[in-house]
């Protein structure tokens, strides 16, 4: 019996997973336990959860795999330093960061006193981990594999061909060139400074036109081999010390662009300033440039390999808008993107990389995202009893519902009546998306549901869309695709004759970031959507993450707290139903 602990540490979206004999047992991001978005540092609480889920102690773990290798691309680093002579503070800061990240064994000893880890620790190069996280858990025996992100181990992208249990790497893009840095820098330019704010630009883009695409082509240059280079006049990450705060908290990144970008596009928007049409056009142009570079690479790779399957990872694989256009813009026929495509997913990639390097066979496909903690009925009842006075004081009541169909029918009726539902059941999702176990649900037919959710709970930008969860069998009737999208990683066009029926999940350009739901992978959520479909004729519900400006809820306590401090109408906690009296 072999246990491999995979970790993403000292970076945004710190995480851990546990693989037993080539099969994933558990996976979770540290932010869910620490309650700080994108938490960076050593994922001790995620590791603790994974070990508990398997019923083992650290002493039983044979290998630890971390998704970075300080020795990787070493000659590239030396050559860059000698050639470019960047600010000495920049070099010292990078060396110090690497030194601090080396002693994983010491971190484990500190987090788990008395549990001696005697196994091996393996550093797996950042993009090698991403490629493994995309391909080695996919359903494909053969696929083109692509990783694109900001930076990791001095590279920003890598690609190659996966076959069986091996991935043959073709090429890389090295520091300082990066599509991820392009998107992040322009996101900052638009006044969205927080780590991970790129999704806001994606949501804003359909409100604009790509009128600044010529300017964007001056920033990103495409190369004949499918790769890309940045015009470094517009960036400062390669020559000045950029403020990076990764350790034990929410990641923060300093300004990445230079004054030259303001000369090209006009003044940078400050956070909180009005969003004008000018900003919306820039957002659309950023997305258009990213897609142009992305599809340029994919078309070159298809021409080289002639393989119909594509597996994607890296932070840029979270660009669900571009992902949904792959079939239209490239010859690929099938795409797989696991639910934690970004850096968190590197934990899984590192673990499976080591499993196969040690001779393990392929025997696992990640077809669902439910790898986090779950809670017993007795725990939930104990929580409700302990908080009974608080619940009653909020004019709420709770009850046990022992029949699953009765629960689903009652909740479906509440959704159809315009109520907002907190839905907490089963194991927490792996990755950033709420996929029906830690979700807030609403009626997709109501044009005012976006406003209701933003008023009652989410308090987020009005231009950001909400997503539909749809029964798998109903997809071709409602969307211009028949694809499997279990992880909400692709945006597709909603059929024109259906858009007016589901305005709450139809974005301004007629699209929706769908999640396909099947009985095989989430029977209760599928039953709820089926019940809603029987009641309304619409086999989908609005789904957004169960949180209020915080990480997605992990434990029943957080779900109850979120319910009571917001204006949610109904809370499902496992087999218990909490309702507000009207």
360 lies in a domain? no
381-388: long-range pairs with CB below 8 Å, 24+: 381/576, 383/556, 383/557, 383/560, 383/573, 384/560, 384/573, 384/576, 384/578, 387/560
364 lies in a domain? no
Q: Identify the residue whose tokens are 């699209």.
A: 511
pLDDT at 93: 53
270 lies in a domain? yes
Per-residue pLDDT of 149-173, as tens digits, reads: 999 999 999 999 999 999 999 999 9
Check whether residue 332 and residue 421 sit in a common domain: no
Per-residue pLDDT of 227-262, as tens digits, reads: 999 999 999 998 887 776 666 788 888 999 999 999
Q: Is the pLDDT of residue 392 over 90?
A: yes
Average pLDDT over residues 386-395: 97
- Among residues 341, 336, 343, 333, the alpha carbon closest in space to that of 367 is found at 336
pLDDT at 416: 98
- Among residues 434, 420, 523, the alpha carbon closest in space to that of 472 is found at 523
Percent of the chain with pLDDT over 70: 96
Who contacts 448 (Cβ-Cβ below 8 Å, separation ≥6)? 504
Check whether residue 303 and residue 409 sit in a common domain: no
CATH assignment at residue 472:
3.90.870.20
Check whether residue 394 and residue 475 sit in a common domain: yes
Whole-number Å distance between alpha carbons of 380 and 356? 40
372 lies in a domain? no
Q: Is the pLDDT of residue 100 over 50?
A: no
Domain boundary among 66, 94, 126: 126
Check whether residue 317 and residue 410 sit in a common domain: no
Domain boundary among 103, 126, 149: 126
Average pLDDT over residues 447-464: 84
CATH assignment at residue 288:
3.30.420.40
pLDDT at 242: 74
Check whether residue 86 and residue 202 sit in a common domain: no
Check whether residue 70 and residue 199 sit in a common domain: no
Q: Is the pLDDT of residue 299 over 60?
A: yes
pLDDT at 439: 98
pLDDT band at 264 (very low <50, low <70, confident <90, very high): very high
| Domain count within the chain | 3
Whole-number Å distance between alpha carbons of 262 and 270? 12
Domain, as residue range, for 464 = 377-580
Check whether residue 515 and residue 535 sit in a common domain: yes
Whole-number Å distance between alpha carbons of 288 and 294? 10
pLDDT at 87: 59
pLDDT at 88: 54
Who contacts 25 (Cβ-Cβ below 8 Å, separation ≥6)? 17, 18, 19, 50, 53, 54, 371
Check whether residue 24 and residue 162 sit in a common domain: no
359 lies in a domain? no
Whole-number Å distance between alpha carbons of 44 and 40? 11
Per-residue pLDDT of 515-531, as tens digits, reads: 999 999 999 999 999 99
Check whether residue 170 and residue 264 sit in a common domain: yes
Burial class (CB in 10 A: 0-12, 13-18, 19+), 462: exposed
Average pLDDT, the chain: 94
214 lies in a domain? yes
Percent of the chain with pLDDT over 90: 87
Domain boundary among 126, 150, 173: 126
Burial class (CB in 10 A: 0-12, 13-18, 19+), 308: middle
Check whether residue 101 and residue 230 sit in a common domain: no
pLDDT band at 460 (very low <50, low <70, confident <90, very high): confident
Q: Is the pLDDT of residue 311 over 50?
A: yes
Which 3-state string (H, E, C) describes 191-214? Answer: CCCCCCCHHHHHHHHHHCCCCCHH
- Which tokens in the block code for residue 334? 């099938």
- Among residues 384, 435, 416, the alpha carbon closest in space to that of 575 is found at 384
Average pLDDT over residues 139-149: 98
Per-residue pLDDT of 470-494, as tens digits, reads: 999 999 999 999 999 999 999 999 9
Q: Is the pLDDT of residue 346 over 60?
A: yes
Burial class (CB in 10 A: 0-12, 13-18, 19+), 581: exposed
Which of 61-65, 241-245, 331-335, 522-526 is predicted least confidently? Answer: 241-245
Whole-number Å distance between alpha carbons of 580 and 398? 9
368 lies in a domain? no
Check whether residue 27 and residue 172 sit in a common domain: no
pLDDT band at 89 (very low <50, low <70, confident <90, very high): low
Check whether residue 95 and residue 166 sit in a common domain: no
Give yes or no for a contact between 2 and 62, defined as CB atoms under 8 angstroms apart: yes
Q: Is the pLDDT of residue 97 over 70?
A: no
346 lies in a domain? no
């Amino acid at each position: 019996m072999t246990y491999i602990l995979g970790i993403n540490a000292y970076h945004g979206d710190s995480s851990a997973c546990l693989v037993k004999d080539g099969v994933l047992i558990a996976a979770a991001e540290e932010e869910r336990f620490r309650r700080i978005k994108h938490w960076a540092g050593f994922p001790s609480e995620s590791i603790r959860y994974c070990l508990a889920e398997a019923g083992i102690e650290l002493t039983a773990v044979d290998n630890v795999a971390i998704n970075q290798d300080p020795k990787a691309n070493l000659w590239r680093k030396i050559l860059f330093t000698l050639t470019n002579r960047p600010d000495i503070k920049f070099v010292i800061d990078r060396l110090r960061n690497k030194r601090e990240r080396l002693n994983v064994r010491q971190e484990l000893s500190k987090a788990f006193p008395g549990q001696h880890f005697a196994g091996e620790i393996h550093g797996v190069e950042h993009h090698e981990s991403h490629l493994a996280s995309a391909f080695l858990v996919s359903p494909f025996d053969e696929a083109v594999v692509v990783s694109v992100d900001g930076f990791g181990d001095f590279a920003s992208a890598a690609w190659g061909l996966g076959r069986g249990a091996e991935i043959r790497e073709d090429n890389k893009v090295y520091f300082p060139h990066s599509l991820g840095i392009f998107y992040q820098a322009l996101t900052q330019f638009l006044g969205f400074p927080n780590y991970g704010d790129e999704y806001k630009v994606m949501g804003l883009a359909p409100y604009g036109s790509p009128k600044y695409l010529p300017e964007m082509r001056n920033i990103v240059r495409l190369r004949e081999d499918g790769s890309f280079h940045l015009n470094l006049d517009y960036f400062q990450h390669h020559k000045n010390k950029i403020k990076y705060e990764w350790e034990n908290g929410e990641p923060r990144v300093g300004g990445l662009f230079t004054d030259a970008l303001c000369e090209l596009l006009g003044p940078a928007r400050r956070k909180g300033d009005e969003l004008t049409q000018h900003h919306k056009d820039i957002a659309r142009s950023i997305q258009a440039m990213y897609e142009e570079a992305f599809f340029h690479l994919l078309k070159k790779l298809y021409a080289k390999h002639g393989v119909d399957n594509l597996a994607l990872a890296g932070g840029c694989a979270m660009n669900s808008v571009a992902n949904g256009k792959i079939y239209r813009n490239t010859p690929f026929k099938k795409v797989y993107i696991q639910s934690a495509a970004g850096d968190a997913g590197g934990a899984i990639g590192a673990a499976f990389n080591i499993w196969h390097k040690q001779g393990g066979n392929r025997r696992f496909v990640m077809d669902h995202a439910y790898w986090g903690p779950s809670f017993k009925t007795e725990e939930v009842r104990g929580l409700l009893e302990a908080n009974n006075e608080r619940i009653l004081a909020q004019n709420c009541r709770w009850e046990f519902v022992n029949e699953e169909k009765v629960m689903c029918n009652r909740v479906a009726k509440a959704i159809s009546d315009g109520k907002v539902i907190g839905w907490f059941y089963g194991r927490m999702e792996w990755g950033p998306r709420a996929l029906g176990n830690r979700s807030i649900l609403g009626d997709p037919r109501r044009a005012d549901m976006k406003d209701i959710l933003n008023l009652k709970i989410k308090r987020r930008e009005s231009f950001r869309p909400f997503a539909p969860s749809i029964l798998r069998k109903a997809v071709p009737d409602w969307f211009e695709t028949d694809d499997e999208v279990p992880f909400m990683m692709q945006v597709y066009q909603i059929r024109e004759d259906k858009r007016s029926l589901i305005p709450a999940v139809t974005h301004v350009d007629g699209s929706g970031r769908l999640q396909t739901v099947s009985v095989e992978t989430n029977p209760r959520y599928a039953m709820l959507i089926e019940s809603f479909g029987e009641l309304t004729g619409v086999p989908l519900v609005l789904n957004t993450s169960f949180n209020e400006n915080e990480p997605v809820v992990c434990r029943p306590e957080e779900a109850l707290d979120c319910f009571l401090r917001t204006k949610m109408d109904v809370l499902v906690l496992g087999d218990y139903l909490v309702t507000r009296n009207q």
